[in-house]
Structure 1
Amino acid sequence: MVFKRRDRRPIWKIVLEFFWPRGGWRRAALYVKHRLRRLPDPPHRIARGIFAGVLTTFTPFYGLHFVIAATIAWIMRGNIIAALLATFFGNPLTYVPIGVVSLNTGYWLLGINKRAHAEMHGSFGRMFVDAGADLKHNFVAAFTDANMDWSRLSVFYDEVFFPYLIGGIIPGIVAGAVCYYISVPLIRAYQNRRKGAIKAKLAALRKKRQAAAEDRAKGD
């Protein structure tokens, strides 16, 4: 196949590069910034896409962020490529603080006593493990005579997923709005500077051609 890698990476290397990409996160961030600046769209449309991508990272729909960001950008008439690139705002270095802020905001909005629920159902990590165990058990039960049990998954939904979903709205909008208002003038300045550089190159090229034509005329 044309796009198949020649060197197959081992699993450990794939996991390592997920948490620490080749060249580091600084290089990855610079690449995303460079790509965002060079998108052929007005600054406000690119900024809307950035807003959509950043907002999406505050949702618990991991694995669907690209789809959700593209959908929100399409509804807002923003740049879809910018939305996809902006989802890199959520990465292994930022997912923990994003999750903590979203969950605590959700607990506060829904009036959930986090400490009481932790004492009743265990820690945050424990609820993740229990939900995964329920999924595994019910998958097996679908093909055997075992009874399905959704109790631990229900606890996970009530105490993690739903509070995360509700709590991520406010900080997601705030972070997206900050990125929007920062990116508009930066993208506009970059595009104007780039247009000026292109015009200067074209002017220099025309001047060079004109000088060459005058030299040929004098030679004749």
Structure 2
Amino acid sequence: MLFRRRNEESAWERFRVWLWPRRSFSRSFQYFSKRILRLKATPHAIAAGVAAGIFASFFPLGLHFVVAAAVCWLIAGNLVAALLVAAVGGNPVTVPLLWGASWETGKLILQEDVAANGTPEHLSAMLHHMSFAQLWRPVLEPLAIGAVPLGVLFGLLFYGVTRWGVGVFQEKRRRRLAEKAARQQQRPGEFGGVGSAFR
């Protein structure tokens, strides 16, 4: 198969690349930024999709893609942009920061004191058994409640930045394509003029 790897990657290698990209996080960020800028949609749709992805990134993994798609549909955003941003937001570097901020904000909204050790009693046993009823009150409820205001705040911020950036990028691309079309229209006349000079 064309462009297929000579040696298949192991599960550990794929996990390591997920944790730390081969070409650094800045290169990966540039790649995803260009993918979003080059989407064929209106500035509002792309910016709304990015905002939906940012909003969903504050929610637990597994739910963030569903939340991104639902919010994207509600605000008429671009689904590809939403899922790309949600995928980037679910990386191992940002997840602890986003979840920690959501959990602390949720505890503050619910006006519940955080335990001295920072975790509820028997949390490890709850996570081992994955009991939703037991996890809801101490972990999932503050996490979900705290994710909403943070997601809205950062979603609006990224919406404004993305809409401006996409508008500038698309305007430059329109000018570049118009100039290219104008040059192509002038070339037949130029060749005709050169040919007529030799007649």
Is TM (by shorter chain) over 0.5? yes
- Which residue matches 2:113? 113
Name the SS for the 1:108 alignment partner.
Answer: helix
Of the two, which has the highest radius of gyration? 1
- Which residue matches 1:141? none
- Which residue matches 1:99? 99
Change (3 A) 1:82 1:199: same
On the 8 A contact 2:54/2:154 being kept in 1, the answer is yes
Query: Deviation of residue 5 (structure 1)?
Result: 5.9
Query: Deviation of residue 120 (structure 1)?
Result: 6.1
Query: Deviation of residue 8 (structure 1)?
Result: 2.2
Whole-Å Cα distance in 1 between the matches of residues 161 and 69 of structure 2? 21
Whole-Å Cα distance in 2 between the matches of residues 159 and 28 of structure 1? 35
Whole-Å Cα distance in 2 between the matches of residues 51 and 91 of structure 1? 17
Query: Deviation of residue 14 (structure 1)?
Result: 1.5
Whole-Å Cα distance in 2 between the matches of residues 65 and 3 of structure 1? 32
Query: Deviation of residue 117 (structure 1)?
Result: 8.6
Report the TM-score, using the length of structure 2 for normalisation.
Answer: 0.89
Write out per-residue CA displacement over residues 86-105 of structure 1, whole angstroms, 9 at most, x where no aligned residue.
Answer: 11134211111111110011
- Which residue matches 2:27? 27
Structure 2 residue 130 is matched with structure 1 residue 131: no
Counterpart of 1:39, as a letter, is L
- Which structure 2 residues correspond to residues 33-72 of structure 1 after superposition, within 5 A? 33-60=33-60, 62-72=61-71
Query: Deviation of residue 66 (structure 1)?
Result: 2.7
Structure 2 residue 5 is matched with structure 1 residue 10: no
Whole-Å Cα distance in 1 between the matches of residues 63 and 15 of structure 2? 19
Whole-Å Cα distance in 1 between the matches of residues 2 and 79 of structure 2? 26
Q: Where does the alignment leave 5 or more consecutive residues of structure 2 unmatched?
A: none
Write out per-residue CA displacement over residues 54-80 of structure 1, whole angstroms, 9 at most, x where no aligned residue.
Answer: 0000112x1343333123212211111
* Identity score, percent: 28
On the 8 A contact 1:54/1:90 being kept in 2, the answer is no
- Which residue matches 1:202? 181
Whole-Å Cα distance in 2 between the matches of residues 185 and 119 of structure 1? 41
Counterpart of 1:160, as a letter, is V
Report the TM-score, using the length of structure 1 for normalisation.
Answer: 0.81
Query: Deviation of residue 181 (structure 1)?
Result: 0.6
Change (3 A) 1:211 1:84: same
Q: Find 2:159's aligned residue among 180, 193, 198.
A: 180
Write out per-residue CA displacement over residues 188-217 of structure 1, whole angstroms, 9 at most, x where no aligned residue.
Answer: 011101111111111111111221133344
Whole-Å Cα distance in 1 between the matches of residues 119 and 165 of structure 2? 48
- Which residue matches 2:75? 76
Change (3 A) 1:89 1:118: closer
Write out per-residue CA displacement over residues 113-137 of structure 1, whole angstroms, 9 at most, x where no aligned residue.
Answer: 2116958605xxxx2x3234214xx
Change (3 A) 1:131 1:31: same
On the 8 A contact 2:106/2:143 being kept in 1, the answer is yes
Name the SS for the 1:157 alignment partner.
Answer: helix
Whole-Å Cα distance in 2 between the matches of residues 6 and 161 of structure 1? 44
Q: Where does the alignment leave 5 or more consecutive residues of structure 1 unmatched?
A: 136-149
- Which residue matches 1:139? none
Over the aligned positions, Cα root-mean-square deviation in angstroms equals 2.4
